[in-house]
Copies of this chain bind each other. A is one copy, B any other.
Amino acid sequence: MPLRVHYELALAKGETGPGKASAIAREQTVEMPPGVSPAKVERRTIGAVAAVEELSARRARVAIDYPWRELVSDLPQLVNLLYGNISLQRGIRIVGIDWPAALVAQFPGPACGVAGLRELVGVRGGPLLAGALKPVGLGTAELARLAADLALGGLDLVKDDHSITDQRRAPFRERVLTVAEHVARANRQTGRSCLYVPNLTGPVDSLGQRLDDLRDAGVRAAMIAPLLVGLDAVRALAESAGVALVGHPSFAGSLVAPRQGFAPELLFGDLFRLVGCDVVIYPNAGGRFPFRLADCRRIQQRLLAPLGEMRPAFAMVAGGIDAAKLRRWLPEYAVDTIFLVGGSLLGRPDLRAAAEELSRIVAGATRRRGDR
Contact = CB atoms under 8 A, between A and B. Distances in A.
Interface string A76-116: 11011101111111100000000000000000000000000
A78 to B, nearest CB: 10
A90 B38 CA distance: 45
A37 B289 CA distance: 21
A314 to B, nearest CB: 19
Contacts of A290: 89-90
Interface in A131-173: 134-138, 161-163, 165-167, 169
A236 to B, nearest CB: 5
A253 interface: yes
Contacts of A342: 31-32
A32 B133 CA distance: 11
B228 A79 contact: yes
B76 A228 contact: yes
A31 B203 contact: no
Contacts of A347: 32-33, 35-36
A288 interface: yes
A75 B86 CA distance: 26
B232 A229 contact: yes
B45 A135 contact: yes
Nearest to A139: B41
Nearest to A138: B41
Q: Please give the count of copies of this chain that the complex contains.
A: 2
A283 to B, nearest CB: 6
A134 B30 contact: yes
Interface residues of A, number: 82
A261 interface: yes
Interface stretch (A49-57, A66-74, A332-340): A66-74
A42 B253 CA distance: 26
A254 interface: yes
Given A31-B134, A76-B229, 15 more contacts: A29-B135, A29-B163, A31-B163, A33-B344, A37-B346, A41-B135, A45-B136, A73-B166, A76-B228, A83-B251, A88-B256, A204-B232, A254-B257, A254-B261, A257-B260
30 contacts: A29-B135, A29-B137, A36-B347, A38-B138, A41-B137, A41-B138, A42-B135, A42-B137, A70-B167, A71-B136, A71-B167, A73-B165, A73-B202, A74-B203, A76-B165, A76-B229, A80-B163, A80-B250, A84-B251, A85-B250, A88-B249, A89-B253, A89-B289, A204-B230, A205-B236, A228-B232, A232-B233, A253-B260, A254-B257, A254-B260
Interface of A: 23, 27-33, 35-38, 41-42, 44-45, 70-71, 73-77, 79-81, 83-90, 134-138, 161-163, 165-167, 169, 201-206, 225, 228-233, 235-236, 249-257, 260-261, 283, 288-291, 342-344, 346-347
The 7 A-B residue pairs with the shortest CB-CB distance, nearest first, are: A230-B230, A87-B253, A45-B137, A30-B135, A88-B253, A84-B250, A254-B254
